Structure 1
Amino acid sequence: MSFLVQTLSRYFFRRYMVTFASYCLAILFLIFLVDFNESGRRLSVSEDYTVALGLLISLLRVPTVLQALIPFVVLIASIATLLQLNRKYELVVTRAAGVSAWQFLAPLIAANLLIGALSITALNTFAAYALQTAESIVVERNLGSRQTDSGAPWLRQRTAEGDTVLGARATSDGGTRLSDATFFLFDKDQRIRERLEAESAVLGDGVWELTGVKRIRRSEPVESLDSATVPTNLKAEFVGESLTSAETVPFFELGGKIATAKSFGLPATSYEMQFHRLLAQPALLAAMTLIAAMVSLKFVRFGQSLTAILGGILAGFVLYVVSELIQAFANAGTIPPVVAAWLPVVVASALGTTVLLHKEDG
């Protein structure tokens, strides 16, 4: 029996990995097409935009999007694999040989744990650096809005000349290079004395160096300047911690980012959320296997393949929505990031295990 289980395990493992790779390639191609179309629509207004540049930016963004979609790819691949095995009566023969559902699900769970481990190490590291490169291209070519979110957060700095509030539509180089930057300069009475809009801004030694500047003052015409400087006492490390997106930080560097942010007195919620979400991903993929089995094994008895597929996709979608809602609460500081990351995994695993125990073991 032991030899039979080992042989079947290798066979099911291989079948699942082939199916997963096929779906992964299809999803990659779809992500690329959608992203290229959306990026082209948004960035083509720039004179520096070319089709080749758009292709490069989309290729660099694909790994980040894929990592976010891996749980859904795993869910669909698991459902497809189990349905294929059912359709060819391979699971029927396996059960007749005395192999339990838990034994033939073990190779799929092991495969997804492996995929999860590779996702948070190799894929995440590559995706983070690729996204950094994509953002740098957008900023350096001044192509438009940031690729990862609606805009960078605003920062306030205090100097002898008064306070300055600054923000940008895009950042790169750890937040020290800004694109479409805006600076609001206040006087000592906390009234806005002027506004500077720059095509780009780079953090230098004690100053922000602005290029392509429009100076706007009250009751005065707009003044165009080739360059300008704004005094600052901000350090590159502080700016980087404030403006860097958690998605552009590799998994193994998140711990250092969290410690550095806390040492500056900055909120580290986004870094902590990213760290625990990545850490929980292997367990989440294993839970997706249980959800897939929960809806796919029913096909043996009732032959409802379409119902199984729709049920599995719906279950995955509900899990995704719940995860996003919990993450929103975590970002607002309502619940700890570790709870927000692991609670959906625990609930999905408990639900899948309970249903399978009821169906398979009575």
Structure 2
Amino acid sequence: MDFFPSRTLAIYMAKMFIIRTLAVLALLVLVLQALDLLGESGKILAYEGNGEAELWTYVSLRAPQLIARFLPFSVLLGTIITLATLNQNSEVVSMKAAGLSAHQILAPLIVASMGIALLSFLFNETIVAPATARLSQWEKVEFGPIPAESNIRTNVWVKDGNNLINARTVTGRGEQVILQDITVYDRSENGLKNLLQADAGQFTGSGWLLTGVTQFDVSTGTEEKKSELMVGDAIRPDQFTLTNVSADSLSIFALRTAIGELERAGRPTMSLKAGWWHKISGPMSSILMPLLGAVAAFGLARSGQLFVRAVIGMALGFAYFVADNFALAMGNIGAYPSLLAAWAPFLLFFLIGETVLIRTEE
């Protein structure tokens, strides 16, 4: 049970593992960011006035998403490269000859991956979630000026009977919600009756007071301007603030608050609950990677099976990501309970990795 019989050896292996993981991550992010920017630069520059500064803004908002998404892949590839190198140089044979078990050999990598998982969680909460929310807002305004408010929601649609209401921007919470650039489509069964546009709207407790109103009658083709107009007495403020809640755009505490608000409003929350649990299980996937890639560490390098073992390790790791995405998708549609959707792949592949390691090396 002494997993670190040699402090020098543990530091040596952890250092190799971390350096290779960061190198793979940097390479992946650099290549994928360049490809992504090539695909999006046309849309960004299509907005009048955008230039190089906006391209760098996009990179600063997109890069955290790429880092968060591909960090577990980088840990897997860093594990395989590290262990394959040690095996190729007969260092694993030396460690086993000195009396170290397979778990003792992997222990420094697993401890290092725990640190990576913790940093990944903090990075997701403090940088990735705000960047995702900001990028989503920017994309909805077609890469125009980014709204300054942090709690702004853009391009929100609400249905009121047969009518549709669109607010270009929604700010505030509760009864302090303010709508801006509003369009109301007054529809009957046969089609559109009136088109109403307003500069701003605010909830009064019994309805929505719109200001700067322009009303167009489709049947007569006439237009009428009004300074104020009351509409939507059956529309609640939470219908505007809770329509587009994204788990990726909120921190774990903000998401918990949003889930509570949705539950009180009688809205479905299965997908958000699965996303909440995945905010914990997702970063912890890095801890699995040394275990799943461990098959590359063992076996004699001169037997010619090192490449095959590396491929098997990669296959196990990528199978985990496929299973994780599948379970999360099932949780989003309610086919799996949210807790099971987030944690079942982690537990399943932990048992698979331990089984492979014990049956082949222990």
Cα offset, 1:323, TM superposition: 2.1
- The structure-2 alpha-carbon separation of the partners of 1:20 and 1:113, relative to structure 1 and needing over 3 Å to count, comes to same
User: How far is the alpha carbon of 1:353 from its aligned partner?
Assistant: 0.6
Q: In the aligned structure 2, how far is the partner of 1:344 from the partner of 1:79?
A: 21
Question: How big is each residue's C-alpha offset from its partner over 1:182-239, in whole Å with a ceiling of 9 and x where there is no partner?
Answer: 754335x7964345799xx86644549799x99887567798x9x9988446565553
CA distance in 2, matches of 1:44, 1:209: 34
The code of the aligned residue for 2:193 comes to R
Alpha carbons 2:129, 2:249 under 8 Å: kept: yes
Distance 1:136 1:282, change over 3 A: closer
Q: Give the conservation status (yes or no) of the 8 Å contact 1:83–1:305.
A: yes
- 1:67 is matched with 68
**Cα displacement (A) at 1:77:** 1.0
Give runs of aligned pairs for residues 267-282 of structure 1, distance below 5 A. Answer: 267-282=268-283
Between 1:230-239 and 1:326-335, the stretch displaced more is 230-239
**Are 2:274 and 1:292 aligned?**
no
Check conservation: 2:271, 2:334, Cα contact below 8 A: no
- The gaps in structure 1 that reach 5 residues or longer are 145-150
Aligned position for 1:103: 104
Q: Which residue of 1 aligns with 2:158?
A: 155
Which has the higher mean CA deviation after the structures are superposed, 126-135 or 106-115? 126-135
Cα 1:287–1:15 change in 2 (3 A) is: same
2-structure distance, mates of 1:305, 1:214: 73
Residue type at the aligned position of 1:16: F
1:172 CA drift (Å): 7.6
Structure 2 segments unaligned to the other structure (5+ residues): 146-153
**8 Å Cα contact 2:197/2:214 also seen in 1:** yes
Cα distance between partner residues in 1 of 2:52 and 2:230: 36
SS of the residue aligned with 2:327? helix
Partner of 1:19: 20
CA contact (8 A) 1:75 1:292 kept: yes
2:180–2:200 CA contact under 8 A, matched in 1: no
Secondary structure in 1 matching 2:268: coil
Question: Percent identity, aligned pairs only?
Answer: 25
- Aligned pairs, how many? 345
1:36-74, Cα deviation, whole Å (9 max, x unpaired):
122213333322432320221122121123212222111
Amino acid of the structure 1 residue aligned with 2:280: L
The aligned residue for residue 341 of structure 1 is 342
Whole-angstrom CA distance in 2 between matches of 1:57 and 1:202: 29
Counterpart residue number, 1:329: 330
Please report how far the alpha carbon of residue 167 of structure 1 lies from its aligned counterpart in structure 2 after TM superposition. 5.6
Equivalent residues of 1:136, 1:173 under 8 A apart: no
Residue of structure 2 in register with 1:164 after alignment: 163
State the alpha-carbon separation in 2 of the partners of residues 252 and 87 from structure 1: 46
Deviation at 1:308, TM superposition (A): 3.7
1:257 counterpart letter in structure 2: A
Correspondence 1:352 to 2:353: yes
The residue type equivalent to 1:71 in the other structure is P
Structure 2 length as normaliser, TM-score?
0.79
Residue 193 of structure 1 aligns with an amino acid whose one-letter code is K
- Do the aligned residues in 2 keep the contact of 1:64 with 1:124 (CA within 8 Å)? no
Give the alignment's TM-score, normalised by structure 1.
0.79
* Greater radius of gyration (CA): 2
Offset of 1:345 from its aligned partner?
0.6
| Counterpart residue type for residue 288 of structure 2 | A
